[in-house]
């Protein structure tokens, strides 16, 4: 019975992956249509490719870090 259960789940996963990969997606930034993994932009809910997502992630992380440092510096000046 377990072997049948694993087979059914495996087929379901393959169907899901096939359906997901056949959807027409384009990256909102670079326009690419094929990538190993798709992401959603948290601001605009658009599709992003693997490369553009991590580029935005690094940029946002750096901006947050810079803003935190500026806030700490402002607190030190006003104390």
DSSP per-residue letters across 1-54: -HHHHHHHHHHHHHHHHHHHHHS----TTT-----S--EE-TTT--EE-HHHHH
What is the C-alpha to C-alpha distance for residues 52 and 13, in angstroms, rounded to an integer?
27
pLDDT at 72: 74
pLDDT class of 1 with cuts at 50, 70, 90:
very low
pLDDT of residue 6: 53
Closest to 47 measured CA to CA, from 66, 31, 71: 31
Bridge partners (DSSP) listed for residue 39? 48
The 10s digit of each residue's pLDDT in 37-52 is 889 887 778 899 999 9
Look up the pTM and report it: 0.56
**Amino acid 51: pLDDT:** 94
């Amino acid at each position: 019975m377990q072997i049948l259960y694993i087979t059914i789940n495996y087929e379901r996963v393959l169907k899901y992956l096939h359906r997901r990969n056949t959807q027409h997606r384009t990256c909102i930034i670079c326009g690419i249509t094929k990538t190993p993994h798709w992401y959603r932009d948290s601001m605009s809910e658009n599709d992003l490719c693997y490369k553009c997502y991590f580029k935005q992630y690094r940029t946002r992380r750096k901006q947050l870090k810079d803003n935190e440092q500026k806030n700490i510096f402002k607190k030190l000046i006003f104390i």
